[in-house]
Amino acid sequence: MELVYTIFSCFHIKAFYFTLVAKLAKEDFIPELLQNVVVTEIMVPPDREANLQRILFNPCHICADNSSECYFKTKDDFHYKGDVNIGVLFSIHYYYTASKVPHTFVPYYFNDIYLQYNFKNYEFILALRFAIEEINRNPHLLPNISLGFDFHNVAPSQRNVLGYALIWLTGISYPLCNYNCVNERKSAAALTGPSWAKSAHIGTLLQLYKIPQLAIGPFDSILSDQSQFNSLYQIAPKGNLSLAVVSLMVHFGWNWVGLLLPDDHRGTEFLSDLRKNMEKNSVCIAFVEMISSTWTSFSHKFWAHMGKIQESLANIIIIFGDSDSLQGLMLNLGNQFLTWKVWIMNSQWDVTNHGDYFLLDSFHGSLIFSLQHEQLVEFPNFIKTVNPFNYPEDIYLPKVWFLFFKCTFSEIDCQLLKTCQQNASLESLPRHIFDMAMSEESYNIYKAVYTVAHSLHEMSLQQVQMQPFGNEKEMAFFPWQLHHFLRNNHVRDKMALDWKQELGDNYDILNFWNFPKGLGLKVKVGTFVPNAPQGQHLSLSEQLIQWPKIYSEIPQSVCSERCGPGFRKVALEGKAVCCYDCTPCPDNEISNETDMDQCIKCPESHYANTEKMQCLQKVVSFLDYKDPLGMSLTTIALCLSILTAVVLGLFVKYRDTPIVKANNRTLSYTLLITLTICFLCTFLFIGCLNTTTCILQQIAYGGAFTVALATVLAKAITVVIAFKVTFPSRVVRWLIITKAPNFIIPICTVMYLVLCAIWLGSSPPFLDQDAHAEHGHVIIVCNKGSDFAFHGVLGYLCSLALGSYTMAFLSRNLPDTFNEAKFLSFSMLVFFCVWVTFLPVYHSTKGKVMVAMEVFSILASTAALLGFIFVPKCYIILIRPDKNSLHHIRNKSHSSRNKTPSSKIK
């Protein structure tokens, strides 16, 4: 509560801002702490209103009393005494003028010069001090030798970076090269970072003096080049951030993402690695913005970049860089109300140090990848003990106590007076200002200090062995002598400082919670372990993730709507692979997943359901007796078989009547028996089938038809011989008496059997399945085997029918008493038409319909023979018995002779 009063007590605030605060408080946007603050309207001087607007609702930047000049008397360096020192070149604060500010954000004001503190980076100093004190207390590491450090603040601009390094090397404010004015100070190494660019600039200078340099920033390929930087060691592991990021994209189904990268080699390398991993996992880049690494130059093109960011369909935007490379980008994004974007960042970004006038933060719900590092248990306890009175040489602690704990400076010597809040501690500061958890860079500093300490320890042991009787109390060495030990040294986690060795690259995934604005929590929600088994690299606790407040569920970021099950993707010409149309799967193909490139064809024994989402087992089917079609054909075949048997019985009963005798009783009996067999053969086509029935189908009905057609042919030839042949009467009498035409039946049958033997020997019929004739069914059918043999048999039967028809047609007008030749010609004509029609219909149907068509052709052709040949005779026998007598035959013959012309009789 006192901190909030401090914020509001520094300024006179207009009624407009109080109205805004009250309105937001009623809508539950402001934390309960701010709702209880009571303020009154006071007039604001015009010259201070602009500064007020810049810091209102900006909890990261608390105001300072302008009358306190001691606050702004900031030195750029301070020292922690030790026998051996480590040079430290970090950026904690910097100045800038209002004319160079890229955006309306003024933290502190003093005589037109603005002072910006980065309290996140101040943790680097604390981590350095913690490591050094821990080493100095350890009697087994560097005994009788204490470590210290020389801190020099480095401005963000790269223009004067070498100047700060020279100040550390020479010990004077206006350095002269190769001069050292601090002879009593022994420097072992230098710590630089986290910016790679500053480490590179400083490295070009330090390698001239062969001074070891340990870079604590993110791994950089250029800094690992020994030919360029032979005195520089990188503490951070290399990692594989691009693979980790793409794994997260794949997990949430994000395939349309934007990229904001620094316009340098690190941004180019990251983009190259990211493209490779994206192509492997079908993730596309919506846009790429290469941002200048200077935050002042970024401001001029800011709105052009913002247009692409705001208008893009990509709701997921990846930001890659270090804390110095894209400051302008983060400042501008932090002050935009982009609450519908999810930012994916690496841990170097400081997303809490940018203010705006909204309690909803643009970065709330962001996901941050941080290389795994050990969280030292004693480090938070150490921070609790830190205060400006315990560490009087620290130039930053008094300013923190002045800002946040109501401490004041003495006007005489600018020393901090002990008029502060009781129990003041860094632990009580808001998390967005100072985080007690050790950051990735702070842990790298801790490791770097221990690396130097172990190297110095090994060097001191070597000196003792070489000079066992030496009396020197202080350690004597040159910095370049430390290189051998640094390259072979291992810290407690066995990390080698050899630039050729790749280190651990496991990542923690942090979710940034900053609602209400100023909360500043980074919550671990998952991990990425590249060496884990396949499919287990990424582990997430999705229930812990807080997304931007605009989303009630996991946000989507796709170029095209996903193709659900039952559909497949169709690429669009000239577009990225992530932009596509959706089309339904073809027949009998399915897609049971989202965004499938190809549909999966169902097996022959399965079929696709209506939604094309799964394959269902087909029902085995055949022309069953219980089916309506099978039942109808069975009934017809049975009735016709009974009718044929009745006709046979009728002919047997009236076998001595003239009509039966005149039509060759033997051939009539043979034909009727054969027709009965033909009708019964249809039962081989209906019901459950097997290989035996498939073979019997062809042999039985083909043999029966052969005998039937041969019998009809014999009948027709008999009529022709009796009335048409002009041979001598003895020959005709012999043909009729010996019944030679009847031998046609066994001859034709033998020929048929030869054809069947060839058929069965080459490619016999077999049981087959038709999976395509009927949807959802597998129909059991008999495959004819050799199509040539099957059509050969049909052709043989049709040739017999054609011969019978020809013989009957020639004798159609002969003076036969009952004119059987005419009926024979009609029956053969129908038979021939049925089977000629059968062929195209048979080949155009499938499954049970094809079988039914064959059965129907058998029944139709057999019924034609029965009907045309025997129905007229049965009519005379049963209805007109008067015509079935010798008297009627004689009268009819006499009438025929009288009608014959005399010339023809002669």
Q: What is the DSSP letter of 85?
A: E
> By three-state DSSP, how is residue 168 classified?
helix
In a domain? residue 446: no
The answer to whether residues 692 and 822 belong to one domain is yes
The answer to whether residues 613 and 644 belong to one domain is no
Mean pLDDT of 691-695: 85
The answer to whether residues 40 and 185 belong to one domain is no
In a domain? residue 541: no
> By three-state DSSP, how is residue 195 classified?
coil
Number of domains in the chain: 4
User: Residue 818's domain spans which residues?
Assistant: 628-905
Task: Please check the confidence at residue 692 and state whether its pLDDT lies above 90.
Answer: no
Residue 186 pLDDT level (bands cut at 50, 70, 90): confident
Q: What is the per-residue pLDDT for 832?
A: 73
The answer to whether residues 863 and 890 belong to one domain is yes
Closest by Cα among 691, 723, 662, 678 to 834: 678
Task: Please check the confidence at residue 149 and state whether its pLDDT lies above 70.
Answer: yes
Report pLDDT digits (tens) over 550-561. 888 999 888 888
Q: Cα 804 to the chain's mean position, in Å?
A: 72
Residue showing tokens 């030292």: 376
The answer to whether residues 98 and 202 belong to one domain is yes
The answer to whether residues 40 and 95 belong to one domain is no
607 strand-pairing partners: 616
Q: What does pTM read for this prediction?
A: 0.64
Residue 813 pLDDT level (bands cut at 50, 70, 90): low
Domain boundary among 364, 388, 420: 420
Q: Cis omega (within 30 of 0) on the bond before 872?
A: no
Task: Please check the confidence at residue 887 and state whether its pLDDT lies above 90.
Answer: no
Q: How far apart are CA 561 and CA 578, in angstroms?
A: 10
Q: What is the CATH number of the domain that holds 392?
A: 3.40.50.2300
Specify whether the CB–CB gap between 700 and 677 falls below 8 A. yes
The answer to whether residues 582 and 646 belong to one domain is no
Helix (H) or strand (E) segment spanning residue 216: none
- Nearby residues of 151 by Cβ (< 8 Å), 6 or more positions away: 77, 78, 79, 80, 88, 90, 125, 128
Task: Please check the confidence at residue 132 and state whether its pLDDT lies above 90.
Answer: yes
783 strand-pairing partners: 766
Report pLDDT digits (tens) over 37-56. 333 232 333 333 333 333 33
DSSP string, 540-608: E-GGGPPPPTT-SS-----SS----TTEEEEEPTTS-TT-EEEEE--TTEE--SSS-SSPEEPPTTEEE
% of the chain at pLDDT higher than 70: 76
Closest by Cα among 738, 741, 737, 785 to 761: 785
The answer to whether residues 43 and 78 belong to one domain is no
Domain boundary among 384, 403, 420: 420
The answer to whether residues 738 and 854 belong to one domain is yes
The answer to whether residues 585 and 711 belong to one domain is no
In a domain? residue 793: yes
Report pLDDT digits (tens) over 348-374. 666 555 554 556 677 888 999 988 888
Domain boundary among 387, 420, 453: 420
In a domain? residue 138: yes
Tell me the CA distances in angstroms from 346 to 217, 368, 819, one per residue in order.
Answer: 12, 5, 106
87 strand-pairing partners: 150, 190
Q: How far apart are CA 522 and CA 509, in angstroms?
A: 9
In a domain? residue 559: no
- Nearby residues of 183 by Cβ (< 8 Å), 6 or more positions away: none
% of the chain at pLDDT higher than 90: 18
Task: Please check the confidence at residue 110 and state whether its pLDDT lies above 50.
Answer: no
In a domain? residue 658: yes
> By three-state DSSP, how is residue 58 classified?
coil
In the numeric block, which tokens belong to residue 13? 């605030």
